[in-house]
Amino acid sequence: GAVVSQHPSWVICKSGTSVKIECRSLDFQATTMFWYRQFPKQSLMLMATSNEGSKATYEQGVEKDKFLINHASLTLSTLTVTSAHPEDSSFYICSADPEGGWSYNEQFFGPGTRLTVL
Amino acid sequence: ILNVEQSPQSLHVQEGDSTNFTCSFPSSNFYALHWYRWETAKSPEALFVMTLNGDEKKKGRISATLNTKEGYSYLYIKGSQPEDSATYLCAFHNTNAGKSTFGDGTTLTVKP
């Protein structure tokens, strides 16, 4: 089956620093990748849709200057949390859709990244 | 904002029990509904994609039904096993956007 990797799996950083999270599709090309955030005991909240070669589409309420997304190739999307603060501490998870979001196919998820900002 | 609700939030059953839980979603502009299983420390993995009203899908002891007119889907597990312990997520996909809205999930714990 399709595999999506995510790196790092966990990260602890100081307030004010930036953190980059990578999402890679290992055995397929993904024109579209999605970035989610999960708060404790809550659902996966879509942050943005990342399209290869174009700007990401951010959901309402998500600061695009705070959460920088780059989808430079068909197998890699990155999420950079800039000037992280404790309230950014969360679980971030990506998914990839080989069909660009408009198919009945399931999304393939990475294992997620636990970010803790001190 | 699309409202996708799952119930119950958590469920504890004994090995061998059968169980079911619900995902409710808007009944308009339906495109697809996905069920995912998310085990601790692993990636969510797809169980079923439901697209047509009245769909019934089955994979081993797990099955799912879909009612798009009233906006709900049921997931059934027959003879639960400890390895079924996981969080089960549903994701609603409407016709107006190429993205999914997830429910909060139902966390199932099966005791041996």
- Torsion angles phi and psi, residue B104, rounded to 5: -75, -15
| Number of C-beta neighbours around residue A35 at 10 A | 26
| One pLDDT digit (tens) per residue for chain B, 112 residues | 678 999 999 999 999 999 999 999 998 889 999 999 999 889 999 999 999 999 999 999 999 999 999 999 999 999 999 999 999 999 998 876 678 899 999 999 999 9
| Number of C-beta neighbours around residue A104 at 10 A | 13
Residue A110 in contact with partner chain B when CB distance is under 8 A: yes
Grouping H, G, I as helix, E, B as strand and the rest as coil, residue A17 is coil
The pLDDT tens digits of the residues spanning A76-103 come to 999 999 999 999 999 999 999 876 555 6
The pLDDT tens digits of the residues spanning A22-65 come to 999 998 888 889 999 998 878 899 999 988 888 899 999 999 99
Tell me whether residues A32 and B98 touch, CB distance under 8 A.
yes
**pLDDT of amino acid A105:** 65
Tell me whether residues A107 and B104 touch, CB distance under 8 A.
no
Interface list for B 68-87 with A (CB within 8 A): none
Amino acid making up residue A54? S
Tell me whether residues B101 and A41 touch, CB distance under 8 A.
no
Cα–Cα dist B45/B35, whole Å:
9
What would the two tokens of residue A99 be? 């069909």
CB-count exposure of residue A65 (10 Å: 0-12, 13-18, 19+): exposed
**pLDDT of amino acid A35:** 96
**pLDDT of amino acid A101:** 55
Of A43, A104, A112, the CB nearest to B49: A104
Tell me whether residues B49 and A110 touch, CB distance under 8 A.
no
Contacts of A63 (CB under 8 A, 6+ apart): none
Tell me whether residues A46 and B34 touch, CB distance under 8 A.
no
Of A102, A108, A110, the CB nearest to B98: A102
Residue A7 confidence class, pLDDT cut points 50, 70, 90: very high
Residue A2 in contact with partner chain B when CB distance is under 8 A: no
Tell me whether residues A43 and B103 touch, CB distance under 8 A.
yes
Q: Which of A41, A42, A106, A113 to mutate to test the interface with B (most CBs of B within 10 A)?
A: A106
Direct distance between the N- and C-terminal alpha carbons of chain A, in angstroms, rounded to an integer:
37
